[in-house]
Amino acid sequence: MRRSILLASALATTLALTACGSGEGTAGGSGDEPADDAASATAQASGSLTVWVDETREAAVEQAAAAFEDETGVDVELVQKNFEDIRADFLAQVPTGEGPDITVGAHDWLGEFTANGVVAPIELGDKAGDFIPVSVEAFTQDGQVYGLPYAIENIALIRNTELAPEAPKTFDDMIAAGEKAGTKFPFLIQSDGDKGDPYTYYPFQTSFGAPVFEQNDDGSYRPELALGGKAGEAYATWLGEQGEAGNLSTDISYDIAVEAFAKGRSPFVVGGPWMLEKFGDLDLAVDPVPAPGGQPAQPFAGVQGFYVSAQSENALLANDFLVNSMSTPQAQTALFEAGGRPPALVEAADAASEDPLVAGFREVGATAVPMPSIPEMGSVWSFWGVTEASIISGKADDPAAAWDKMVSDIEGSIG
Amino acid sequence: MSRARYQGAVTGSGTRPGAGFAVKLVLVALVDALGVFGVLAAWRAGSWGILAATVALLAAANWVYFTKRSLPLKYILPGLAFLLVYQVYVVGYTGYVAFTNYGDGHNSTKEQAVDALLVQNERRVEGSPALPLTVVESSAGDLGFAVVSGGEAEVGTADEPLAAAPGATLDGGVVTAVPGWTVLDRATVLQRQDEVTTLRVPVSADAADGSVRTQDARTGYVFQPVLVYDEAADTMTDATTGVVYTPNDEGQFASADGETLPVGWRVTVGFENFATAFGDDRYAGPFVKILAWTFAFALLSVVTTFALGMFLAMVFNDPRLRGRKVYRTLMILPYAMPGFLAALLWAGMLNTSFGVVNQVLLGGASVPWLTDPWLAKLSVLGVNLWLGFPYMFLICTGALQSLPGDVYEAARIDGAGRWRTWRSITMPLLLVATAPLLISSFAFNFNNFTLIKMLTGGGPRFDDASVPLGHTDILISMVYNVSGLDGSAPRDYGLASALSIVIFVVVGVVSAVAFRQTRKLEELS
């Protein structure tokens, strides 16, 4: 009996092996056996690169990849991922060796990536000078550059020129112009319910002189909170007043803001270049965000770029691809056309600035500060947003006290 | 007698394999093909655990389907295999992670952490030029770099510092030939890229001058390591300050005065995660509130959906009602909608200022459906009622239709009224059929992450904003927030796993007790 089981299993396995025999034959040549013929030697030498891209940028990266493939004979495989998933997946998969060689990403992931040892530095060399300084700065930590930047994004004030022909100088000007236009909302700024949206509100905050962290001279941040004190309290008080006056509301989500502006229900919206495609044929202008406080209103600059995995087995190829193929004006322009964010390469950015709206965002971006990429930033967002939301909605009776509580909570969380 | 006949049918009297055997052989061959493919793939990837598991499953499958002794296993095995892979393994792995410090800063193995620390702390020597670089090989087979420095060619290897190579040929600022060295072509360089990227060629005999390395085999830069790893002693030394870092129990390199290097690795930490879960006084207060709400939510969800579902089922079970089929189909519609989509839609409809409910149904009122603690809870229950009653409606309809008519007739003859009939006959019989489903519905709602996440996101937040939790958070969404999986805090998979295990135990105990209770119901009938 036992022998018959063995026999039958052997028969089944043999059948199985014969069935996949043809497949084995083709696969075996490239991987396992020592290659002795010329054809497989090149196949082995050329190697392959795996690149994670999001849907928007896939086509643009594909162009650059095709050129790189032609030049070097390397096989570049693009894997499409949701941009939101990349951060966590990269962190989880790089240590297992299943991660990509290269991934697209945002610069504010850098702190987490280096703390977990999943990214390798990139030496841009003299090419660093070809990029807009803030873009390389954003990918710099401790003097090392960890990403090849390709786009800079920041928010600004988008104005419907039909409803408001003049750019407002101050926040009060803007509200006055908005009320004069007779639209439903004097101006629009998005929030995310009771979670708030400190990213979009940040220009207002900086105008009161309360940046989130202390900045070093080279533009990098150190983990010392700067958003407290008198300046922060003044901002909190202002938020409370404006919330009460109805100029700010936590009920206006991104979708509501975009839809209302597109339908001409407000002359102003605070937002980024990603909104523009929704606004169709409106006549628009892009201006700096008007400052309610005494100092300039500086938005956050977010920089997008490519990271190289610390566990890449093709590090040489990956660096070659990024430094020599993705830093060309053609590649950066293609990425701009796909994603709509102004390019990080000066030459490509100049070309893109022919569009007055892009130029407008770039002009505002010149005053922007990079979003902090230090790991401590992760502990800030949630407290920050919730507190802002509770002040605006009037749930916090004393804005200044709520703000101080937030500062001490964040300090407790950073430890 | 019957056993003998059955055996004969299966084996074709043992000697002549019939058509059935051939079919079985082909099917098992297909399974084996898949298994062998899996084994080979695991072999190539070096995943020994998966390899062993695949081999074991494959052997089990072959034994089960070719032996005559295991008829029940033939039916159970596929389900058992999936149970092992998708449930037991997952629970086991979660249990394992619960005892480690896997999370931000402890993301990978020690080896990788060391690599990462070294690579992050190798700095380009300030002001050093970019050197056009060619990868060369000496006659002895050592890899080396030929660089152009100040218009002159220099060659060196890991052991020999860069030295002038007078006879070298330069073309376009790049070395193309060096006497005594072979210039490697691009294909060979790529083939040996590991060696190329790890090669460090000292600039001079003095190590303090740094060494040349390249990332793309086209340009070299002079680098200087800041951290040096001593493999034998297992310590990191800061080359600039001389501070020595030794590995500690937390999976980090720490100096004598307690300063740690940023990148750590995964180690087992015993019950520390469980201690944090229950010992952190920041979470103690919210935890009790959330636990109470979780039970209330799960229980009320089951009760309300069952009540509505049963009521509708009884109404539509009445033969006097016309067009029952149409109504029944309409009733099932919410069930046909993906839960997360429905939750998102409801979140929009319940928006205080712009939602349909306030704007249209309540004529412009501003009821804070999702931002007032109690109303938010009510909204969550309401939306879950809308989502869940069709399921209860379906199972109650099924159960009602299978109730015996003669019992009702007997009740009527005994003079029982409608209420009495419902209470003493319909309800008990209905519960016998549906109780197990109610228990599973409770377990489902206990962990109904999608609804909470999509509808309220756990909000409105507790007034004490020091924890990222809110009034409608249930245990599973609390785990998600507290362990930083939503990005609002440093990620801590260890803590998340520990809390998940706690939830698993709670749900398991509740279900076990409830199932025990349902046996009493069965005794009734």
| pLDDT tens string A374-395 | 888 878 888 898 899 989 988 8
Would you call A15 an interface residue with chain B, using a CB distance cutoff of 8 Å?
yes
What CA–CA distances, in Å, run from B264 to A118, A370, B110, B113?
12, 27, 7, 6
Give B273→chain A minimum CA distance, Å. 17
Helices (H), B141-267: 186-191, 193-198
CA dist., res. B345 & res. B357, Å (int) = 12
**Pairwise pLDDT comparison (B259 vs B466), residue with the higher score:** B259
Q: What CATH architecture does domain A154-301+372-414 belong to?
A: 3-Layer(aba) Sandwich (3.40)
Chain B residues closer than 8 Å to A44 by CB: 191
For the record, the structure tokens of B348 come out as 């929009």
Helix (H) or strand (E) holding A368: none
Question: pLDDT tens digit string along A91-140?
Answer: 888 988 888 999 999 998 998 898 888 999 998 888 888 998 888 888 98
Closest chain A residue by Cα to residue B217: A316
d(CA A97, CA B44): 13
pLDDT of residue B48 exceeding 70, the answer is: yes
Mutate one of A9, A24, A71, A377 to test the B interface: name it (highest B CB count within 10 A): A9
For residue A379, the chain B residues in CB contact (below 8 A) are: 488-490
Q: Phi then psi for A390, rounded to 5 degrees?
A: -70, -30
Q: Which of A377, A395, A378 is nearest to A386 (CA)?
A: A395
Q: Is A66 exposed, middle or buried (0-12, 13-18, 19+ CB in 10 A)?
A: exposed
Q: How far is CA B155 from the centre of its chain?
A: 51
Cβ–Cβ contact B240 with A under 8 A = no
Q: What average pLDDT does range A148-158 have in this prediction? A: 92
Q: Domain A47-152+302-370 classified CATH 3.50.50.60?
A: no
User: What is the C-alpha to C-alpha distance for residues B228 and A114, in angstroms, rounded to an integer?
Assistant: 18
Which residue from B115, B122, B218 is facing A310, i.e. has the nearest CB?
Answer: B115
Residue with tokens 């010992």: B279
From B155's Cα to the closest Cα of chain A, the distance in A is 20
pLDDT digits (tens, 9 = 90+) for B341-360: 888 899 888 887 778 888 88
In the prediction, which pLDDT does B383 show?
Answer: 93
C-alpha A285/C-alpha A158 separation (Å) is: 6
Kindly report the average pLDDT of chain A as a whole number: 84
Taking residue B184's Cβ as centre, other Cβ atoms within 10 Å add up to 19
Q: How far apart are CA A96 and CA A181, in angstroms?
A: 58
Whether B379 shows a pLDDT value over 90: the answer reads yes
B15 pLDDT band, cuts 50/70/90, is low
Distance CA B477, CA B290 (A): 10
Block residue for tokens 């962290």: A213
Residue B6's Cβ-side half-sphere holds a number of Cα atoms within 13 Å equal to 6
Chain B: residue nearest A43 by CA? B187
Flag the least confident range among A9-23, A214-228, B427-441.
Answer: A9-23
Cα separation of B280 and B493, whole Å? 17
- Give the strand pairing for A48-53 and A102-106: parallel
Per the CB < 8 A criterion, the answer to whether A392 and A248 are in contact is yes
Q: Where are the domains of chain A?
A: 47-152+302-370, 154-301+372-414
* pLDDT, average across residues B229-253: 88
CB B134 within 8 A of CB B126: no
Q: Report which residue type is found at B245.
A: Y
pLDDT at position B449: 92
DSSP 3-state of A263: coil
Question: Helix A38-46 to helix A21-31 angle, to the nearest 10 degrees?
Answer: 70
Q: What is the dihedral of CA A63, A69, A71, A73, to 10 degrees?
A: -170
Looking at the complex, does the CB of residue B488 fall below 8 Å from at least one CB of chain A? yes
Q: What is the rounded distance in angstroms from the CA atom of residue B219 to the CA atom of residue B197?
A: 12
Determine the Cα–Cα distance for residues B382 and A143; give it in Å rounded to an integer.
55
Query: What is the average pLDDT score of chain B?
Result: 85
**Per-residue pLDDT tens digits for A174-183:** 999 999 888 8
Q: What is the pLDDT of residue B10?
A: 46
pLDDT at B440 over 50: yes
User: Measured between CB atoms, which of B216, B468, B485 is closest to A382?
Assistant: B468
Predicted confidence at residue A29, as pLDDT, reads: 36
In this predicted structure, the answer to whether residue A206 has a pLDDT above a threshold of 90 is: yes
Asked whether residue A258 carries a pLDDT value surpassing 90, the answer given is yes
- Interface with B, mutate which of A18, A139, A254, A382 (most B CBs under 10 A): A382
Q: Domain ranges in chain B?
A: 18-98, 122-225, 280-524
Q: Which CATH superfamily is domain B280-524 in?
A: MetI-like (1.10.3720.10)
pLDDT of the residue at A14: 53
Judge whether B237 and B230 are in contact, CB under 8 Å. Answer: yes
Q: Do B459 and A143 touch (CB under 8 A)?
A: no
Percent of chain B with pLDDT over 70: 95
Q: Is the pLDDT of residue B6 over 50?
A: no
Measured between alpha carbons, how far is B462 from B231 in angstroms, rounded to an integer? Answer: 50
User: E strands along A47-174, which residues?
Assistant: 48-53, 75-80, 102-106, 119-120, 140-141, 144-145, 147-154, 156-160
Collapsed DSSP state (helix, strand, coil) of residue A293: coil
pLDDT per position as a tens digit, B293-342 = 999 999 999 999 999 999 999 888 888 888 888 888 888 888 888 888 88
Cβ atoms A349, A157 nearer than 8 A: no
A-interface mutation test, from B7, B102, B190, most A Cβ less than 10 A away: B190
